[in-house]
Chains A and B, each alone.
Chain A
Amino acid sequence: MKLNRRRFIGATAGATATLAAPMVRAASDGRPRVVVVGGGAGGATVARYLAKDSKGAIDVTLIEPTRTYYTCFFSNLYLGGLIPLEKIAHSYGTLAAEYGINVVHDWAVGIDRDARTVTTAGGYTFAYDKLVLSPGIDFVEGSVPGWDIDAQNEMPHAYKAGSQTELLRAQIMAMPEGGTYAMVAPPNPYRCPPGPYERVSMVARILKQHNPTAKILIADPKPKFSKMALFQEGWSNHYDGMIEWIGPDFGGDKVSVDPAAMTLDIDGEVTRVDVCNVIPAMKAGRICEIAGITDGNWAPVHARDLRSKMDDNIHVLGDSCAQGDMPKSGFSANSQAKVCANAVRGALTGSAVFPAKFSNTCWSSLDENDGVKVGATYEATDEKIAKVDGFISKTGEDATLRQATYEESFGWYEGITSDMFG
Chain B
Amino acid sequence: MMKAKLHIMAAMATMAALGWGAPAAAHDHGDPERGAALFKACKACHQVGEGARNRVGPVLNGVFGRPAGSVEGFRYSAGMERESADGLVWTWETLDAYIENPKALVSKTRMSFRGIRDEQKRADLLAYLRLFSDNPADIPEAEPTEASALPNLSPEVLALVGDPAYGEYLSSECTTCHQVDGSDEGIPSITGWPVEDFVVAMHAYKEKIRPHPVMQMMAGRLSNEEIAALAAYFNGL
Q: Which A residues form the contact surface with B (CB < 8 A)?
A: 2-3, 5-6, 9, 49, 188-189, 193, 224-227, 324-328, 331, 334-335, 338, 342, 354, 357, 359-362, 373-377, 379, 381-383, 386-392, 394-396, 407-412, 414-416, 418-419
Contact = CB atoms under 8 A, between A and B. Distances in A.
B169 interface: yes
Given A2-B151, A327-B138, 16 more contacts: A9-B166, A189-B137, A193-B139, A326-B136, A342-B169, A357-B173, A360-B140, A362-B140, A374-B140, A376-B144, A376-B217, A381-B29, A381-B146, A387-B146, A390-B140, A395-B1
B221 interface: yes
Contacts of A331: 176
B136 A49 contact: no
A301 to B, nearest CB: 13
B120 interface: no
In the A-B complex, the 10 residue pairs with the smallest Cβ-Cβ separation, listed nearest first, are A411-B186, A411-B187, A388-B148, A386-B146, A391-B213, A407-B186, A392-B141, A188-B138, A325-B136, A387-B136
Nearest to A376: B140
Given A389-B148, A389-B217, A226 B141 contact: yes
Contacts of A188: 135, 137-138
B148 A379 contact: yes
Contacts of B214: 361, 373, 375, 391, 408
Contacts, number: 157
A2 B175 CA distance: 29
A375 B173 CA distance: 13
A221 B34 CA distance: 32
A359 B136 contact: no
A417 to B, nearest CB: 10
B135 A411 contact: no
A379 B220 contact: no
Contact of A377 (B143, B148, B183, B186): B148
Given A335-B173, A394-B5, A193 B217 contact: no
B14 interface: no
A415 B145 contact: no
B221 A374 contact: no
B166 A354 contact: yes
Interface string B159-184: 00000001001101101111110011
Contacts of A377: 148, 217-218, 220-221
Given A375-B214, A387-B146, A415 B176 contact: yes
Contacts of A375: 140, 213-214, 217
A303 to B, nearest CB: 11
A387 B135 CA distance: 10
B136 A327 contact: yes
A331 B175 CA distance: 12
Contacts of A354: 166, 169-170
A342 B169 CA distance: 9
Contacts of B29: 381-383, 386
A416 B185 CA distance: 13
Interface residues of B, number: 49
B134 interface: yes
Nearest to B175: A419
A223 to B, nearest CB: 10
Given A5-B223, A377-B148, A411-B186, A49 B217 contact: no
Given A335-B176, A376-B136, A227 B141 contact: yes
A391 B176 contact: no
Nearest to B147: A388
A327 B138 CA distance: 6
Among A331, A362, A383, the most chain B Cβ lie within 10 Å of the Cβ of A383
B217 A415 contact: no
Interface in B1-40: 1-2, 5, 25, 29
A226 B141 CA distance: 7
A383 B32 CA distance: 11
Contacts of B218: 359, 377
9 contacts: A9-B166, A189-B137, A225-B139, A227-B141, A379-B221, A387-B142, A387-B143, A389-B220, A391-B216
Nearest to A331: B176
B225 interface: yes
A29 to B, nearest CB: 27
Among B136, B143, B147, B166, the most chain A Cβ lie within 10 Å of the Cβ of B136
Contact of B217 (A189, A326, A390, A419): A390
A90 to B, nearest CB: 16
Contacts of B138: 188-189, 193, 226, 327
Contacts of B217: 359, 375-377, 389-391
Contacts of A2: 25, 149, 151-152
A414 B173 contact: no
Contacts of B178: 415
A388 B144 contact: yes
B226 interface: yes
A209 B147 CA distance: 47
Contacts of B184: 411
A414 B176 contact: no
Contacts of B180: 418
A416 B176 contact: yes
A133 B67 CA distance: 41
B144 A387 contact: yes
A409 B220 CA distance: 21
A408 B144 CA distance: 25
Among B139, B140, B147, B226, the most chain A Cβ lie within 10 Å of the Cβ of B140
A11 to B, nearest CB: 15
B130 to A, nearest CB: 10
Given A354-B166, A386-B145, A5 B151 contact: yes
